[in-house]
Structure 1
Amino acid sequence: MKKSEWSDNELEELLRQMPKVRDHRDPHDIYQNIFLKKRKTKSWLLPGMAAAAAFFIFIILIPKLMDGTNFSYDTAQEEKSSITNKKMELSDKESTIALKKDESSSKEQAYSGTEQSDLIKAESMKTAIYEDELGNGTVFTYWIPDPQAQILIPISTIVNDTQEQSLLSLYTKTMANLKEEEWGLSDYYPLNATIELDKSNSSVLVNVPANHQYGQGSANETIFMNVIKKDISSNSNLKKIKFLTNGETGIQFGNFGKIEEVDVTPEKKHAILFYYPTGSDIPFLTPSVDTYGDVNTAFDAMKKDQPLYGLKSSLLPLQPITNISVIDKTLFLSFKGISEIKDDQRTLSSFEALLLTAKEFGLEKVVVKDSAIPFIGPFDLSKENKVPVAPNLRNIQ
């Protein structure tokens, strides 16, 4: 660009010579126009700036928005899949439960006859001792008074550890382990006496101390004498008992007077009845106080209670019994007339009472005919059954 040839002074002088220009507009209007221009400029700038800021923020947030969208979609898919799986699991569980119900129903329908009988037999139990259960053991039977001291109840146990002791010594030692009160009976043993064998006379020596209690009242005297006689007759073949007091011959009783010896005579031909100790549903099988002429008469007695002695009928579940006969120490009878017979604990106890009653009359086996059920507990009614060795087993060792 060509440099100007005018100097500053010349230009200034030239401007002075130019005519003056005057603006005839009102000052207020001029100010108003200036103000409007400023506002228009600001109104245009602010939206632009806001749009630019928004665009900038949008650019920044696009990746996060994309991640969030993906996350929401994935979460939704996972939740949907979880719900579907839960529904499938629930459906499977419901199907399994339904299947188990169907199987249980089928089993219940199929569960009859032999299986049901096996369950009842498992819940029932025999209480007497039988020959096939003895092994090398020795049976002792102790006669224990009931709590009212009216009758004696036989309790039997099997002793296996003999250690070459004499039977009388073992019998005396074992009585200290009896649990009479636990069984609902009177606490009577061990006896306040020493019991020894008199080999020279084949008898038993019973020696009591001077302060013994067995002569105090007729009930005590009677119970003591009966306990001694029944214990000796049940556990030995000895025929005589000799009494001593502190080594001296005889025992002085208030009502019986002085007794030096008694004969041991086994008592048989009793009917076997039920005695229920307090709190027990399973009875003791207990001989009647009275004796009977034959097994038929004893069976008749077993149909009735004997409340005077606290004894209950033992034969009702097996009534009526017909065609009773005895051949060669075997009792034959029929259950044909029984309209309903159950394989339960009460019937099992009743059958054991029948077997023990047969034993009371010197019989060794029982044969049942025409039974509506094949078993009563462990007893196979299609076969002959041996009578028990002893009643009311209790394990004390």
Structure 2
Amino acid sequence: MKKSEWSDRELEELLRQMPRIHDHRDPHDIYHNISLKRKRVRPWVLPGLAATAALLLFLLLMPKLMGGMHFSHESAEEKSTSSSNTAAQKDSSAFKKENASSKEAETTKTQQANLLKTENVKTAIYEDEVGKGTVFTYWVPDEQAQILIPVSIIANHSSGQSWITNYTALMANLQEEEWGLSDFYPLNATMKLEKDGNTVIVDVPSDHQYGQGSTAETNFINIVQKDISTNSNCKKIRFTTNGLPGIELGNIGRKEEIDVASQNNHAYFFYSPANSKLPFLVPSIETYNNINSALEAMKTDQSGGLKSSLQSFPQIDHVSISNKMMYLSFAVNSSLQDNQESLLSFEALLLTAKEFGIEKVRIKNSPLSNLGPFDLTEEINVPIAPNLRDIP
């Protein structure tokens, strides 16, 4: 506010010049009015008014306050839930990985324990076990159709019939699912020999399933090739569909004939299906230049579920080959346990030796004189075929 420009003297002089004012009221009345105004207000009125105002204010603000509190509570709860879910997902993911790894390790331990409990038995077929029977080998896909597993049987000899007639007749008796493998046989095809005896004709119906996907096509071609090359000396396969030349395969295309190639130089590994008491001995997909490279590969696991077959076997120090005989020596102070796992490792070694044209194996410094039914002080013949199984 602007400061007044009037002095006290000037204000006093001005008031004196103003007209006089006379109050005509009775002095008694004036006193009475002053007394009424000076009466004290009752003590309960102001607190009551204050309480009422506070109550009204609280009622007005309560919804907003409650809404704000509720929102804050939900937000915190959602954040807590979201954080808990994220943590749970991370924990779950880590647990699954750890659990899967733990299960795989536990499965391997269980399989090894089962091998140690199993009586020492040979799983391959040897010449002295065949007698007058005929050995047939069927190549069966594993459950994931990633690898082919050879399964062999000893069939009674049927005179007057070709090998392929007996071979195809027994396909329906295979127990693939019982063995933990894919149900593949019997083939949806007929197989017969041409008159020259060197060519197999494979005839499929027009609605065959072997062209439905690259895996089905590849397995069909590979299995037919392996079945024929393993069980005969035939050199060629001719395909027909309902008697007409050729077979249509979606990815490979049209095939009329293929050569039967000799397939050797593989290394043998363990493959254990679920709930299997004994593993299968399975050749590798890869081939190797020599027996030493193959034996070195057998010390480690491979793709497709193939496990090392020499992991618990003594270290091989030296290998030499002469006149289809393989001589091997173990490292100094090596130990060899007489159990089922060691026996299977030795059979894997024998089957691998056969892949390289070896017919007999001789160990120069074996820690044991006998391993199951094998006399390790003598030369040992390689097997005729792997994975002997009985069928009805």
1:265-301 per-position Cα deviation (integer Å, ceiling 9, x unaligned): 1100000000001112411000000000000000000
Match of 1:331 in 2: 326
Aligned length: 277
- For residues 372 and 272 of structure 1, the distance between their equivalents in structure 2, rounded to whole angstroms, comes to 23
Match of 1:282 in 2: 278
- For residues 246 and 141 of structure 1, the distance between their equivalents in structure 2, rounded to whole angstroms, comes to 27
SS at match of 2:312: helix
Q: 1:353 aligns with which of 335, 348, 357?
A: 348
Match of 1:238 in 2: 234
1:256-267 residue pairs with structure 2 within 5 A?
256-267=252-263
CA contact (8 A) 2:288 2:294 kept: yes
- For residues 337 and 220 of structure 1, the distance between their equivalents in structure 2, rounded to whole angstroms, comes to 49
CA contact (8 A) 1:162 1:170 kept: yes
1:374 is displaced (CA, Å) by: 0.7
- For residues 118 and 281 of structure 2, the distance between their equivalents in structure 1, rounded to whole angstroms, comes to 21
Unaligned ranges ≥5, structure 1: 1-119
Residues 338 and 208 of structure 1: CA distance in aligned 2, closer, same or farther (over 3 Å)? farther
The sequence identity of aligned pairs, in percent, is 58
1:195-274 residue pairs with structure 2 within 5 A?
195-200=191-196, 202-274=198-270
SS at match of 1:222: helix
1:161 is displaced (CA, Å) by: 4.2
- For residues 245 and 276 of structure 1, the distance between their equivalents in structure 2, rounded to whole angstroms, comes to 37
1:59-84 per-position Cα deviation (integer Å, ceiling 9, x unaligned): xxxxxxxxxxxxxxxxxxxxxxxxxx
Is 1:151–2:175 an aligned residue pair? no
- For residues 233 and 375 of structure 1, the distance between their equivalents in structure 2, rounded to whole angstroms, comes to 34
SS at match of 1:220: helix
- For residues 355 and 391 of structure 1, the distance between their equivalents in structure 2, rounded to whole angstroms, comes to 10
Paired AA for residue 246 in structure 2: G
Match of 2:158 in 1: 162
- For residues 232 and 207 of structure 2, the distance between their equivalents in structure 1, rounded to whole angstroms, comes to 28
SS at match of 2:201: strand
SS at match of 1:291: coil
CA contact (8 A) 1:273 1:311 kept: yes
1:30-79 per-position Cα deviation (integer Å, ceiling 9, x unaligned): xxxxxxxxxxxxxxxxxxxxxxxxxxxxxxxxxxxxxxxxxxxxxxxxxx
Larger Cα Rg: Structure 1 or Structure 2? 1
Residues 305 and 179 of structure 1: CA distance in aligned 2, closer, same or farther (over 3 Å)? same
1:223 is displaced (CA, Å) by: 0.2
1:163 is displaced (CA, Å) by: 4.3
1:200 is displaced (CA, Å) by: 3.6
Instruction: State which drifts further: 316-325 or 293-302.
Output: 316-325
CA contact (8 A) 2:197 2:234 kept: no
Paired AA for residue 139 in structure 2: W
- For residues 334 and 237 of structure 2, the distance between their equivalents in structure 1, rounded to whole angstroms, comes to 50
Is 1:131–2:141 an aligned residue pair? no
- For residues 343 and 159 of structure 1, the distance between their equivalents in structure 2, rounded to whole angstroms, comes to 31
Match of 1:109 in 2: none
Match of 2:312 in 1: 317
1:237 is displaced (CA, Å) by: 0.2
SS at match of 2:267: strand
- For residues 278 and 124 of structure 2, the distance between their equivalents in structure 1, rounded to whole angstroms, comes to 12
Match of 1:367 in 2: 362
1:325 is displaced (CA, Å) by: 0.4
Unaligned ranges ≥5, structure 2: 1-115
1:54-133 residue pairs with structure 2 within 5 A?
123-133=119-129
Is 1:190–2:147 an aligned residue pair? no
- For residues 313 and 247 of structure 1, the distance between their equivalents in structure 2, rounded to whole angstroms, comes to 45
